[in-house]
Each structure stands twice: as structure tokens, then as C-alpha cells.
Structure 1
């Protein structure tokens, strides 16, 4: 695919739709929570109806990962996923444009001592985050208790990239490009905690196959590699949107004997932890991505 050529000036007419879209996103961030959730649900329904490609991917993932559900239950779960992710878009707007203190009354942090204990060792920490619909909101909530860094994926649209990076730097100490291994190592070795999400398919070259919901999935080796190169702790984190519309972040104890030196065993262990957290609130996970895109040699694509 040819690389898009973007104008240098942020005020070029090509960017006007981006600026307009972010203006409405900024407005949404300052709406009352009941309004934001209502709009998020509506947006989720619209995406479920209109985004046929993403709906197909989600349907395949749910059928693979939850075969015990009946077809009607699977269909309802897919719809619930789109609704939860629609709400997540409004939560992201809130995280990007509101002061994190705005979130304090509706949130609670559990297990913070596990990250504190890990950082007290002086070797930094990797926080195992997960691609929930609450991802960016979780970063803002985390700011209420900890100052951490985060990996991110650079956006091709320079205006979008500028706004996103500027917003995330309000939440995190540093926003690190996912390809900047040298920068990440430097931050970890200085004693920082870095949020890392190893739950997507990054391709065969950087992965091993390990079970995820009973399906062999390309699972990135970087978690174990970073831990081995720095000696840092690896601390899992769960993020939950609760029934009463409050939010909960829960840190778990740092993994012992990690990495083990066996890439498949380490990836399997990380996948098992991530799977266990997802199963608590499966509708809040971003099932729209092709988690099982890369297949072992000879296997056909699920999608």
C-alpha cells in the first residue's frame, strides 16, 4: 500500500475534517456522564450496524473463543461488545481532554502496593495492560496514583498524531513509539514503569504460537525480552467498568520466575493471565482486531 502524502501545514483543508471531528470529541468530553454513556451506546449500535467488516471479525473471534455460547448468545455478545466500545470512545475523549482529578470520585485502585513493591526494587516495571474499551481512560485513572510511561502506535495522520500524543503526555510521563526499543529500555532501566499491551497479533517474525482461549495465536516475545534485558518486574493490570458505572483498576503481584527462558512457555503464561482478566468482562474487550490473523503454516485464515 502506498504511503499517504500529507501536507506540512496543519491548517491545510485536508485536515479540516480532522479538526472538526476533534472539536466535537472535545465537546463530548465535557458532557455529563449519563449523556456520554447514552451517546456511546447509540454510537455502538451504529457501528454494529454499519461496520460490517469489524462486526464479521468480532463474530469470528467470539465463535472461536466462546464455543460454549449458543448462536443467539454469541450474537448478543457481539452487540454488547460494540456498545461497550462505543461508550469507550466517549471515555477516551474524557481521558484526553479532562483533568484526571475529574475521574477520582468514580474510580478506585486496588493492589497498588504490587506496583509500588515492584518499583521499590529499582529496576523498573512492565505493566501488562490489555486492549479494553476503557484503555485510555484507564491511563488517566492510573495517573491518580502513579506516574507511568506507555507504548503507543503512531498515527499516519499528523494532526491526529499531534493531538493524540499531546493528550497522552498529559496522562503518561512519556508516550513511547512501539518501535522505539532503545527509548523503552532507557526508561525502564531508569526505574520507570511502562504500560505494555502484548495482546495483539504483531506477525510471525516477532512472535511464537501460544494458546489464547484455546486457539494457537501469534504471541509477541517482547514482554519476556524486555524483562530479560532489564531485570524489571512484570505486573499485570485489570481495568473494569462496573455495573454502577464506576471504574476499577486492579494491580496483581509481579510474576515470579519470569522470563523462564522458554519463549513459548512465557507467551503461554502471559496469554493465560490476559485471558483470565478478559473473561471477567468479555464484552469490554476490543474483539474487533484480528487476534488470530497469523496462522501456523498450512492453516487457512479464520477471517
Structure 2
């Protein structure tokens, strides 16, 4: 388990997989929330490619109104270095699993001072969601999740660039029969997941087991050069990605019988409702049932975690009984309850560095 070093604010390297069973034991099965309780990958790479991640609470230089200037110098440097970075990414993708996890922990230790804003957001979220555990355990959990976010950046490179033989034996995948049954009926599948730190690697592992990869919904990067590299990398594995604002593209894919990985657990400012997540009101998208209905698709829960031995456990579950219910708010609440249950299995692998509670109910103060 990760523990902070007094005074320095840096994590020690003597922990296993940034959490694991020890972290789960400290959180307790019922901590936080009383009963009722987003796909782009981990974006730690942006710290090294010239753009902070505002959505996850990263520091962004503010310009006076009307004087916003792009960080062209850093963007040009990042684009010039892309060929070298591409070679490094392919080398990292082929590392043995223990080596990749160890490298991620070392990079997290080296980058710890740069991740101050992410650590702050993660600690606030964990404090809100796990009030039933002591402050030391909450801080360790938050810090472990940040370390896992760095590891997740390397797992993303593995998802994009590892050859199939390098992934053999790396995962247990269950529930493929639900996907095959939907395909036999000619239905598209919305694979509903959450923002864990290794989502795209789980998608790749599911695709390897299934024989064809689901497509992914992603947030487009503002830098055209980086976005081009990201999309080339993704398209080689999953086929063309679908932009998070491309509703028509998502409907076309589902109506055409494709499987698409989708998550709705990030802060939404439109078509939302406040539903509990670990007992905290969270602005959550309510349009998902309508998407499924319009495409005549089926929603299948899609969950995954990394075990203490470094292997991945990926599962597709049967549709939730009674979903959709006809009440979009209740359907959003059902999704968040199901997600909360899964997060409790591996809380250190959830993306706590995202400002999940940025939008607040009327009259409630900001938490960040």
C-alpha cells in the first residue's frame, strides 16, 4: 500500500500495484453513502505532451478575456517528438507485466510534484465518498488512485501497441455469451462501464477474447497533431473511435449491430440529474436509456479490475432487470448504484482525480 513520506509529499515505492487487497480492506464494505449511491483514457500523458488536463483538475494558465493564447511552443515540441515517443510507446507496450507496473510506480514517484492538483482533487473526492474510514487510510487510497492513473497511462500504451501474443494469458474474460446472444439477435450493444484507470486495456482484452474489438467513445484532444496520433493508435485496435459529442455516430454504430464501450460517470452539465454516488449528489447523464431505445440496442454492464497478481479480470454481465424503467432519473441512479458496488471492489483503481462533483445542486457550495 502506498504511504506518503512525511514532509516531502512523495509516495514510497514499497507498495504492491498501488493498492490491492490492503486498500480494499481499509475502505470497508459499507463506508460512505447510505444505501443509494465518464471514454477517454487516463490523461497523465498530457503533462508530458504539453497540455494540462482541466477536466481532471489540472492546472491551466488563465488568460484575460479575449487574450487566450494557445501554448504553441509546447505543442510544436510535442509534435516534433511524436516519432520518438511512438517508438518508446511500442517498447513500453511490450514490457513484461511486472516491469510495466514497476515503471509506472517509478514514474509516479518522479512526477509526484507535478501531480499536486490531481492529488488534491482525488483526496477531496475520497474524503467525500469514504467518510467512514480514518483520514490516514483515505489519504493512502487517494494517493494510490493517482499512482494507478500514472500506471494507467502505460496500460493505455499497451492497449494500443502490444501485439496479441504479448497479451496472451494476461486476463480472465467472462460473459462473452451475452455479447454473442445480442449479435445473434442483430442488436447493437452499449457496454456500460466506468472511468477506471485501465479502461482501454480492458477493452483491448475483451476484443482479444471475443475475436473483434468493441468501438470506444472518447473525448477529442484539442491539439490536432496529438489527436491524429491518438486516433491512429486507437483505430488500429478498435476501429474508428466515436467522439463523445457525436451522438449520430454512436446511434449509427449501435443501429448497425456494433458493440460500443460507453460511460456516463463524469460531471455532465446537460441532460443531467443529481443522483447519489457514495451518498454525494452527482450530476449524471440521463440520456442513456433514450440512446439504447432509439438504436434498438441492449445495455450490458462491462466491469474490470487488475488483481494483486497483475492479471486483469474482465466481465460482461447480463442486462439489469427492469432497465430501462421508463424513468430516466431512476435509470441514472441505478447505473450509479451498480457502479458504486464495483468501485468498492477496487477503489484504488477508480479515477478519483476527476472533478466528479464539480456541478452542485442549487444552493450547495462548491467542493473544489
TM-score relative to the length of structure 1? 0.92
Q: What are structure 1's unaligned runs of at least 5 residues?
A: none
- Paired residues of 1:221 and 1:263 also in contact (CA < 8 A): yes
Q: Does 1:277 align with 2:356?
A: no
Structure 2 vs 1, CA of residues 174 and 298 (structure 1 numbering), >3 Å: closer, same or farther? same
**1:155 equivalent in structure 2:** 221
Deviation per CA, 1:155-184: give whole Å up to 9, x if none: 111121111111111221331111111111
**2:172 equivalent in structure 1:** 108
For residues 111 and 352 of structure 2, the distance between their equivalents in structure 1, rounded to whole angstroms, comes to: 13
For residues 113 and 273 of structure 1, the distance between their equivalents in structure 2, rounded to whole angstroms, comes to: 21
The alignment covers a number of residue pairs equal to 299
- Paired residues of 1:45 and 1:79 also in contact (CA < 8 A): no
1:174 to 229, 233, 240: 240
Q: Does 1:188 align with 2:258?
A: no
Higher helix share: 1
Structure 2 vs 1, CA of residues 281 and 14 (structure 1 numbering), >3 Å: closer, same or farther? closer
Q: What are structure 2's unaligned runs of at least 5 residues?
A: 1-62
For residues 273 and 120 of structure 2, the distance between their equivalents in structure 1, rounded to whole angstroms, comes to: 26
**1:28 equivalent in structure 2:** 92
**2:38 equivalent in structure 1:** none
**2:308 equivalent in structure 1:** 243
For residues 115 and 76 of structure 1, the distance between their equivalents in structure 2, rounded to whole angstroms, comes to: 37
**1:38 equivalent in structure 2:** 102
**1:259 equivalent in structure 2:** 324
Answer 1 or 2: higher relative contact order, Cα 8 Å, separation at least 6: 2
Deviation per CA, 1:68-125: give whole Å up to 9, x if none: 1100101111121122222212111111111234212211111111222233322211
Q: Does 1:92 align with 2:136?
A: no
For residues 77 and 123 of structure 2, the distance between their equivalents in structure 1, rounded to whole angstroms, comes to: 38
Regions of 4+ moved over 6 Å:
none
Question: What is the alpha-carbon root mean square deviation over aligned residues?
Answer: 2.1
